[in-house]
């Protein structure tokens, strides 16, 4: 059976942050994802344990990215801030026993070349990978290409480029988070893109496109896409990371329709 996790950053926002974990478990999710820490890691870990739900993934703090700024991971001059945020996320992931840490997105700032940003990105990723190994290598580090249709100045906006970057610079050290929404918004065939890059994919996320809402609100044929990804050999979790158009519980009809199992 296909397994679904859920973002408790974008979804279940009808509840206070710590109550979202129990709400997600009650709705049928055995794993949650946290894009932004909204409480102390120890409190989140306790809430997860009480709810009997696992924390699958955490994001490294993104700086000003969500406010439209450049962010951290690939921004020259912000290396120390990125490494500080990475250290916090790594500690939080270990406290919550989260297997995945996403290193976060960034934009190319005005007046800075993309090549300089990519160089900074590679330096920061290398430092993060070394730090993760130094504490036991218990977490898997992920990068996620977004899309240039929504964010023309994003540093990583192409799934094939990001996958090749991993193969060339960080084989066996970092992995790809494959987001169905971003691949679709890039105009690429989602299943073929997954097949090309399945060697480096470790986690899949989804929302419908356009709009980034729940399945059924856009143009993606999720039954076909999920079946194609399954057939290509994916056995991991599919992470629901969408902006609900109404109360989250009222948007979950897709779980049964698409074959989820908690």
Given 33, 85, 144, 214, the catalytic residue: 144
With residue 54 as reference, give the H or E element that holds it: strand 54-59
Q: Give the largest CA-CA distance in the chain.
A: 49
3-state DSSP: the chain helix, strand, coil percent, rounded to 5? 40, 15, 40
User: Is the bond preceding residue 210 a cis peptide, omega within 30 degrees?
Assistant: yes
Given 33, 85, 214, 241, the catalytic residue: 241
Integer CA distances (angstroms), 48 to 5, 11, 78, 240, in order: 14, 16, 32, 18
Tell me how far the alpha carbon of residue 120 is from its chain's centroid.
21
Contacts of 120 (CB under 8 A, 6+ apart): 74, 75, 76, 79
The count of other CB atoms within 10 Å of the CB of residue 170 is 17
Catalytic residue check, 144: yes
Catalytic residue check, 192: no
Angle between helices 222-231 and 190-197 (to 10 degrees): 20
Alpha helical stretches, state H, 58-142: 79-96, 114-134
Q: Which is nearest to 247 in space by CA: 69, 38, 29, 11?
A: 11
Active site residues: 144, 241
């Amino acid at each position: 059976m296909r397994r679904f996790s859920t973002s408790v950053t974008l979804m279940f926002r009808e509840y206070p942050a710590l109550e979202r974990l129990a709400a997600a478990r009650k709705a049928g999710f055995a794993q949650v994802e946290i894009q932004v820490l909204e409480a102390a890691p120890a409190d989140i870990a306790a809430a997860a344990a009480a709810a009997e739900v696992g924390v699958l993934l955490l994001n490294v703090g993104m700086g000003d990215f969500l406010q439209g700024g450049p962010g951290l991971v690939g921004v020259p001059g912000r290396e120390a801030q990125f490494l500080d945020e990475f250290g916090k996320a790594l500690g939080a992931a270990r406290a919550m026993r989260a297997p995945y840490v996403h290193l976060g997105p960034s934009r190319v700032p005005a007046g800075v070349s993309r090549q300089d940003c990519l160089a900074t990105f590679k330096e920061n990723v290398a430092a993060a990978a070394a730090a993760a190994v130094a504490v036991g290598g218990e977490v898997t580090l992920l990068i996620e290409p977004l899309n240039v249709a929504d964010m023309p100045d994003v540093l990583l906006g192409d799934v094939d480029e990001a996958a090749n970057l991993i193969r060339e610079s960080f084989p066996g050290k970092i992995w790809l988070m494959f987001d169905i929404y971003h691949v679709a918004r890039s105009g690429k065939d989602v299943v073929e893109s997954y097949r090309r890059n399945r060697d480096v994919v470790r986690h899949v996320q989804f929302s419908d496109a356009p709009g980034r809402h729940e399945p059924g609100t856009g143009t993606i044929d999720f039954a076909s896409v999920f079946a194609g990804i399954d057939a290509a050999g994916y056995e991991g979790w599919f992470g629901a990371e969408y902006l609900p158009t109404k109360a989250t519980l009222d948007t979950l009809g897709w779980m049964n329709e698409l074959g989820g199992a908690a």
